[in-house]
Structure 1
Amino acid sequence: MTSPLSLIWTITAATTLLQTGNGLLQALMPLRMQASGLSVSSIGIVAAAYGLGFSSGCFLAPASIRHVGYIRAFASLAAIAAVVILAMARAETTLAWALLRGLSGVTFACVFTATDGWISARATSSHRGRILAVYMICTKIALMLAPLGIALGDIRSDGLFMAVSALMSLSLLPIAATSTQEPPAPRSVRIRVKSLFLAAPSAVVGSFIVGLVNGPVIAITPVFGVSIGLNQGEAAALLFALQAGSLLLQWPLGWLSDRSDRRYVIAGLAAGTTVVSVVILLASKLGAGLVILWAFAAWGGFALCIYSVCVAHACDIVEPEHIISTIGTLLFSWAVGVTVGPLFGALAMAALGPGGLFIYSGAVCFVLAVFVLVRIRQQKRERARGGFVDVSPTSSPTAVLAPRAETAAAAGGKEAAGGAARPEEGQG
């Protein structure tokens, strides 16, 4: 009998290699731009270009997969991503960086749509949990450990960009070795922001604010670290701490959200992010390096977990036939936030110094906490329906793995997964 994990080992290996390269790129790009003399505002513009490219890729991906299939779509787009990374080694102006980063956003969205769509098609009720756990753990560990590789090279040379490009190219090998049949091509996701906002405003606003906050923090953290006196290896370690905190707290927070009105968890995570932002601000002024590292882990545990609780909350409310559309709408809300958020974060940092990034993130998360608490007072809800599933804002095709999504598939809804995937998360 075929093992469930044997159905996904090639796509999991390929995604892990991609996320290893993506994680290293997240640390490398802002440090390289800063070393080249670009301002924090320019770095924010480049990060916003990635969000714009990624959100565009969310809508282009289904057509690409329908046209050539999952395997050819992955191979061609991963190859394009590898070439784009090499071109970044020659970028000097803000415009060049923005164009290349925007193009990388389009390619990553399409690539991860193909990988996540493949995983979703292979996951059935009998082994859904095992497949998702292996897939998520591998990709999260890759994102967590990859930034530490920044200490192995010189950010002013081209070696690290070549390493990232090599990892993208190597991801083609597992795909080329696959012997399983690829899944049916997806159809487009229908985006219904207004109707979902009326049904679950906390989820829509929460997803948008997750993009507003997580986008700039992940994109600018290495620059923040260098600006407060850390070396490039220590600055990259802050990204490691963010992802490690998310990995450790995701499931305990999910367990808690399954046993209460999920909005309390969203509000608590937002409030916790505000408090930890203040701690980071104070610790950076005092030069308390170890405190900063632990505070970043706590920040990642809180802020990077909000989106998955928003997804679970929305899926508790909508009818099963609208689950897939709901996931696509929340991803779109997140993508809008991650497009404009880096601009605001960079402006705050330019105006208020390095700590401005966390003044901004703390203030925005405080607004989210207040909004959700007001909604709780206005609309009482029963405890959660259905189980919590660990998803990132970069994984809309894993909508099939969200609460009650299997019911939606059985109901024969008209929308199919294919909206697109990954940054944090997988986000860059």
Structure 2
Amino acid sequence: MNSPLSLIWTITAATTLLQIGNGLLQALMPLRMQASGLSISSIGIVAAAYGLGFSSGCFLAPAFIRHVGYIRAFASLAAIAAVVILTMASAESTLTWALLRGLSGVTFACVFTATDGWISARATSSHRGRILSVYMICTKIALMLSPLGIALGDIRSDGLFMAASALMSLSLLPIAATTTQEPPAPRSVRIRVKSLFLAAPSAVVGSFIVGLVNGPVVAITPVFGISIGLNQGEAAALLFALQAGSLLLQWPLGWLSDHWDRRYVIAGLAAGTSVVSVVILFASMSGAGALIIWAFAAWGGFALCIYSVCVAHACDIIEPEHIISTIGTLLFSWAVGVTIGPLFGAMAMSTLGPGGLFIYSAVVCLLLAVFVIVRIRQQKREPAKGGFVDVTPTSSPTAVMAPRGDVAEASERTMAEETTDAK
């Protein structure tokens, strides 16, 4: 098998299985915690623990992968994730949930670093678009469909946790069966918040706001659904709508950002998210179930695509040799937001009721839109010259998914240097 896709089928299959389990867990955990009597504030604390664990794992992962290699790293971490998920079935206190969720954040970050790094090393300029498209579509569909599995079991029993754990365990099979040579180990990433903020403030602030808003909404959406009178299947369908909207709008928005100053797209997405948040608020108050689903799809299409446009905007500005540290810095900005965001989102719900989550979302996204518009007026830039690639804030190796041809070539040179170092 000499086709480009033959180089990544094992890691794509493994990641897809992993994301099916992860998506099911995203829907299951908040509903289980609510059913166990935990408050919205406690659920927010647990979500913040995941963000803290994930951000820590992103910086621990390169050293771990350098030590054991991609295959062993994926296998050991997926096994740990499976055990952690099984342990969640017996969790009761907020502290226990937070510790387990934080540990899962560390393991998922390391796993995604391994998978992203593997894909990045196999993607060259001649077939980069095809490889990334297949990989992103498979993982996004997995995240989109898996929350619907919540309707197949009882959130108060252990069956759904066992199913999520089993999916994590099954993800080991494609990796164990691979016959391809694993890529060279990644380097560590230097974080340069100040210098990147001076060069591309809209990208840094945008990445932070993405974590600040997307973190609590994705983590608390199932609880929001139950709070407004939906059953557990309908509440999980809201997560489906978020991911479906992101999947449908990513390419039109990418095309748009390739032909305009990307900051206009960031500002438009932020303003659109703010408006849709208000629509969700009023739809939930009036009990308009169909409108809520469509509004969540629109929300996901706008909010979940902001990060990738921020990445593209930063990569339009910085020099190719700084691409790795740039993506690491944007990831750090996102991670800070996703760590503290659930605390604010949960506080808004506790104070203002279920709709408080989207009042919070509307206000924060409006602030982002205003900030970016002010930046546009202060600093004019030429329209982007194409090459958008939709990425998600998972790990630092996402850097080699950069949206410019010269950046891609720089990434390949980095990989070549790493191979030389390994020898």
- TM-score band w.r.t. shorter chain: over 0.9
Equivalence for 2:297: 297
Query: 1:389 is paired with a residue of what secondary structure?
Result: coil
Equivalence for 1:310: 310
Q: Is the Cα contact below 8 Å between 2:125 and 2:409 reproduced in 1? A: no
* 1:358-411 deviation digits (Å, cap 9, x = unpaired): 000000000000000000000000111441111111143131121232232356
Equivalence for 2:222: 222
Q: In structure 1, how many angstroms separate the alpha carbons of the residues matched to 2:395 and 2:193? A: 18
Give the residue type in structure 1 aligned to 2:409: T
Q: In structure 1, how many angstroms separate the alpha carbons of the residues matched to 2:120 and 2:413? A: 17
Give the residue type in structure 1 aligned to 2:390: D
Aligned residue pairs: how many?
A: 417
Q: In structure 1, how many angstroms separate the alpha carbons of the residues matched to 2:360 and 2:288? A: 21
Q: In structure 1, how many angstroms separate the alpha carbons of the residues matched to 2:131 and 2:293? A: 32
Question: Which of the numbers 406, 409, 412 marks the counterpart of 2:408?
Answer: 406
Question: Which 5+ residue runs of structure 1 have no aligned equivalent?
Answer: 417-428
* C-alpha distance 227-258 of structure 1, shift in aligned 2 (>3 A): same
Question: Which 5+ residue runs of structure 2 have no aligned equivalent?
Answer: 419-423
Q: In structure 1, how many angstroms separate the alpha carbons of the residues matched to 2:64 and 2:252? A: 37
Give the residue type in structure 1 aligned to 2:220: I
Give the residue type in structure 1 aligned to 2:280: I
Q: In structure 2, how many angstroms separate the alpha carbons of the residues matched to 1:129 and 1:388? A: 10
Give the residue type in structure 1 aligned to 2:90: R
In the alignment, structure 1 residue 184 sits paired with structure 2 residue 181? no
Q: In structure 1, how many angstroms separate the alpha carbons of the residues matched to 2:179 and 2:138? A: 21
Equivalence for 2:421: none
Displacement over 3 Å in runs of 4+? 410-416
Query: 1:390 is paired with a residue of what secondary structure?
Result: coil
Query: 1:407 is paired with a residue of what secondary structure?
Result: helix
Q: In structure 1, how many angstroms separate the alpha carbons of the residues matched to 2:201 and 2:409? A: 23
Give the residue type in structure 1 aligned to 2:152: L
* C-alpha distance 194-414 of structure 1, shift in aligned 2 (>3 A): farther
Q: In structure 2, how many angstroms separate the alpha carbons of the residues matched to 1:217 and 1:409? A: 33
Q: Is the Cα contact below 8 Å between 2:109 and 2:395 reproduced in 1? A: no
Query: 2:38 is paired with a residue of what secondary structure?
Result: coil
How do 1:175-214 residues align onto structure 2 when only pairs under 5 Å count?
A: 175-214=175-214
Equivalence for 2:150: 150
Equivalence for 1:233: 233
Q: In structure 1, how many angstroms separate the alpha carbons of the residues matched to 2:386 and 2:106? A: 33
Equivalence for 2:250: 250
Equivalence for 2:116: 116
TM-score of the pair, normalised by structure 2: 0.97
Q: In structure 2, how many angstroms separate the alpha carbons of the residues matched to 1:81 and 1:2? A: 33
Q: Is the Cα contact below 8 Å between 2:121 and 2:415 reproduced in 1? A: no
* 1:102-130 deviation digits (Å, cap 9, x = unpaired): 00000000011101100000001111111
* 1:306-333 deviation digits (Å, cap 9, x = unpaired): 0000000000000110111111100010
Equivalence for 1:170: 170
Q: CA RMSD in A?
A: 1.4
* 1:266-324 deviation digits (Å, cap 9, x = unpaired): 00000000000000000000000000000000000000000000000000000110111
Q: Is the Cα contact below 8 Å between 1:57 and 1:109 reproduced in 2? A: yes
Q: In structure 2, how many angstroms separate the alpha carbons of the residues matched to 1:20 and 1:410? A: 30
Q: Is the Cα contact below 8 Å between 1:321 and 1:413 reproduced in 2? A: no
Q: Is the Cα contact below 8 Å between 2:345 and 2:357 reproduced in 1? A: yes
